[in-house]
Amino acid sequence: MKGFEVPYFDRRRGALAFETIYARGFLRWLYNTHAGGALGTVLTASPWPSRAYGWLQRRRWSRRRIAGFIARMGIDPTEARRDIGEFESFAEFFTREIDLGRRPVCPARDVAVAPADGRVLAFPTVEPETTFRIKRGLFNLRELLRDDALAEDFGGGAMVISRLSLSDYHHFHFPDSGIPGKAAPIPGRYHAGGPYALRTLVPFMTQNHRVRTLFDSDSFGRMAIVEIGALTVGSIRQCFRPGARVAKGDEKGLFELGGSTVVLLFQRGAIRLDQDLVSMTRMEIETLVRMGEPIGRAPS
């Protein structure tokens, strides 16, 4: 399996680091050749390839992949709440729970925290009609939300994108305390979420299957939380109860079997994003931010 390096800023170390993106020959062929593109049009249109992959990775024999995956991805197995030998399948390990004592949630009331372990891009303002490039993809707020009224509601507000790599803890959490509404699925395609397409821009954030939740947060007003699936992600599972109050850092849900993305949307003027995140985003460099760490503050 070949890999290529993508730079990101490691916030804890205060230094530039590199993530190795592993792309099997099939994925490179799928996204970078004419024949692959033709097959991809069919393959990414249906959830069945991802569901079939998920079924295979839930078989007991798949647990043989765990040790090699840990070594290749540089995963710290001591973070898991169970010993590695206790997992019955690769899928069970991939959706592992971790010791959340390793992810302390910033307690300050006026601070929003990262919803997941991921590489973050932070945009102070996003307009409803503007289509722009984010890394190797295309983005449009109206197409992301698939709702014109919501696009206007969050137009001109801030957006935080957290991209989870295969090695990350794949549960996601609430960025503030408050009351969540019902999770609304938005049907879509199943493009791979990683930077595999070297010649084209793939609008996976606005085309892929995703789940949208409106959230009345205590410190930041009305928010939208959008989880975006990808190729091999057979399910985006929600673990909260709509209408029931949650605390900052409470678990919202999890992704199954693949790198995925969480998007936070804020209304205009509701948050001042941390300047280091904004500065790195302007240079098109993601910042590694772990669940529970600050991403911005409510204005005074």
Active site annotation includes 46: no
Pairwise CA distance, residues 115 & 83, whole Å: 25
Query: Which of 62, 167, 219, 260 is flagged as catalytic?
Result: 260
The two tokens of residue 87 are 């997992």
User: Would you give the DSSP letter of residue 80?
Assistant: B
Q: What is the DSSP string of 211-262?
A: EEEEEEETTTEEEEEEEE--TT---EEE-S-TTS-B-TT-EEEEE-SS--EE
Pairwise CA distance, residues 218 & 224, whole Å: 13
CB atoms inside a 10 Å sphere around CB 129 = 10
C-alpha angle 4/261/231, rounded to 5°? 70
H or E element at residue 204: helix 204-207
Pairwise CA distance, residues 75 & 182, whole Å: 33
Pairwise CA distance, residues 208 & 170, whole Å: 18
The two tokens of residue 134 are 């984010």
Pairwise CA distance, residues 166 & 22, whole Å: 9
What are the beta bridge partners of residue 226? 212, 263
Contact between residue 169 and residue 190 where contact means Cβ atoms under 8 Å apart: no
Query: Which of 50, 117, 165, 209 is flagged as catalytic?
Result: 117
Query: Which of 170, 171, 173, 191 is flagged as catalytic?
Result: 173
Active site annotation includes 177: no
Q: Report helix, strand or coil for 4.
A: strand
Active site annotation includes 260: yes
- Short-list 174, 242, 179, CA closest to 215: 179
List residues with catalytic annotation.
117, 173, 260
